[in-house]
């Protein structure tokens, strides 16, 4: 959330930012509401001052034996007016907060202005896509042929965009999770976390999923609980309403969860396979930092996410998201895109973002530089370290063999109990 004073003093800038982000939010009544808020605050303060001084006068009159009935009745009327104004002020502040909750974060100066992902500049590539001497199959076809993925039975049990993993398919998914968690904990210094899969409304507001993206979430009927769309939500809210010590920053957390997304805006996209599921596994990276270190911490987070693919020896590229493609809460985002041979293109497998103080302001997460310092908002960062189902999809396509089998990446063989090749199962 942006600071109200900043928005008030920079309305034209904020309007331009919204346009660059393809956001149609109307701010026409913001200045009027904000002025009304200040006017009400001033009027209430004057009335309270009047009430306090008159109360002292009434006390003195009573001591002197004077009649206070008239002046007491006047003060009761003042009290009623204060109560009415407080209610009006509350409504105005709620309307202002709702507007602020719908304003996205301000992109960093070096984020390119663009309309969509077609205008995301490529930053770097790693690895060379494999040249096949046969036509590579899509990962869902490979999985079905090997009998390690079963979308048809998942559709029967639940519905579209769900998948059963079976046998070595389930083992491969679990191997990827364990490999990623070990890598980030042992090599990159992240504290391992396991978080709740259910969060409350305040948590969803804190990280920016609510109120704007309610239709993308799975809400538990009759409760103010939601299934987590990403481990970013519970892990970032771990420090909600806290003041941290600067000496303990930065903090790194690596958290595995299943993720649940309605994919409301994805009709007709990636209807087959593991790319866009309602339920999927992901290892998430979270950082809490001081403002002056957050940009360097973003670069190191991206490197940690890239390391997964470097070790698995799967080609990928890194792109910088333009203003029209970046997430609501982000000030700068890098996407890591993995090579998918059957599609002959790179597909997103990780997004790493610096949210600056945007989420911290919503979730009230601060730090103090020392005992005498005024609390400041931390900077929060999050990134996929990485999406597990998409990693499995990339392994199946990049490591497939002509006979339909799939070679297990060397780094995963210990996690696969020594299995080196996935072959047709019964």
Name the active-site residue from 254, 300, 390, 397: 390
Cβ-contact 212, 225 below 8 angstroms: no
Can you tell me the distance from the alpha carbon of 185 to that of 251, in angstroms, rounded to the nearest whole number?
A: 12
Is 88 strand, coil or helix? helix
Residue 168 DSSP symbol: H
| H helices, E strands: number in the chain | 12, 17
- Burial (CB count within 10 angstroms: exposed 0-12, middle 13-18, buried 19+), residue 261: buried
Of the listed 8, 276, 368, 369, which one is catalytic? 276
Closest Cα to residue 26, out of 95, 92, 116? 95
Look-up of token digits 């597990």: 388
Which of 88, 93, 348, 376 is an active site residue? Answer: 348
In the numeric block, the tokens 């346009």 are attached to 19
76 is catalytic: no
Is residue 146 within 8 A of residue 425, CB to CB? The reply is: yes
300 is catalytic: no
Beta strand spans in 189-329 (E):
191-194, 198-200, 225-227, 242-245, 251-260, 279-289, 316-320
Exactly one of 21, 161, 261, 361 is catalytic; name it: 261
Element (H, E) at 421: strand 421-422
- Catalytic residue, candidates 254, 350, 351, 353: 351
How many CB atoms lie under 10 A from the CB of residue 260? 19
Q: Is 276 a known active-site residue?
A: yes
Q: Would residue 263 show up in a list of annotated catalytic residues for this protein?
A: no
In 299-400, which ranges are E strands?
316-320, 332-340, 345-354, 365-368, 376-377, 379-387
Can 351 be counted among the known catalytic residues? yes
Per-residue DSSP letters for 169-201? HHHHHHHHHHHHHHHHHHTS-PEEEE--SEEEH
Catalytic residue set: 261, 276, 348, 351, 390
């Amino acid at each position: 959330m942006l600071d109200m004073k900043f928005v008030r003093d920079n309305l034209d800038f904020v309007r331009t930012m919204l346009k660059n982000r393809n956001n149609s939010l109307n701010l026409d009544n913001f200045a009027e509401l904000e002025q009304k808020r200040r006017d009400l605050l001033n009027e209430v303060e004057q009335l309270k001052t009047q009430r306090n001084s008159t109360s002292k006068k009434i006390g003195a009159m009573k001591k002197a034996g004077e009649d206070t009935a008239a002046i007491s009745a006047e003060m009761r009327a003042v009290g009623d007016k204060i109560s009415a104004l407080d209610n009006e002020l509350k409504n105005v502040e709620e309307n202002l907060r709702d507007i602020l909750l719908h304003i996205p974060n301000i992109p960093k100066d070096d984020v390119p202005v663009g309309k969509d992902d077609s205008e995301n500049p490529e930053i770097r590539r790693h690895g060379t896509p494999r040249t096949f001497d046969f036509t590579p199959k899509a990962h869902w076809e490979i999985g079905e042929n090997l009998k390690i993925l079963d979308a048809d039975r998942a559709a029967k049990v639940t519905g579209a965009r769900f998948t059963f993993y079976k046998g070595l398919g389930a083992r491969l998914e679990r191997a990827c999770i364990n490999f990623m968690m070990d890598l980030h904990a042992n090599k990159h210094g992240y504290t391992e976390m396991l978080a709740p899969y259910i969060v409350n409304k305040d948590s969803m507001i804190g990280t920016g999923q609510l109120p704007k993206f309610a239709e993308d979430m799975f809400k538990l009927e009759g409760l103010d609980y939601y299934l987590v769309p990403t481990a970013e939500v519970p892990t970032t809210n771990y420090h909600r309403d806290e003041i941290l010590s600067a000496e303990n920053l930065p903090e790194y957390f690596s958290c595995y969860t299943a993720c649940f997304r309605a994919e409301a805006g994805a009709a007709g996209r990636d209807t087959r396979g593991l790319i866009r599921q309602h339920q999927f596994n992901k290892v998430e990276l979270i950082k809490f930092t001081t403002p002056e270190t957050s940009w360097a911490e973003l670069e190191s987070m991206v490197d940690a996410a890239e390391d997964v693919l470097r070790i698995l020896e799967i080609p990928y590229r890194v792109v910088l998201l333009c203003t029209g493609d970046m997430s609501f809460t982000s000030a700068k985002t890098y996407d890591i895109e993995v090579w998918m041979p059957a599609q002959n293109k790179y597909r997103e497998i990780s997004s790493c973002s610096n949210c600056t103080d945007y989420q911290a302001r919503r979730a009230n997460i601060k730090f103090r530089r020392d005992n005498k310092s005024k609390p400041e908002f931390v900077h929060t960062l999050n990134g996929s370290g990485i999406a597990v189902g998409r990693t499995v999809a990339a392994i199946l396509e990049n490591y497939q063999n002509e006979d339909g089998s799939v070679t297990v990446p060397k780094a995963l063989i210990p996690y696969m109990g020594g299995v080196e090749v996935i072959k047709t199962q019964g």
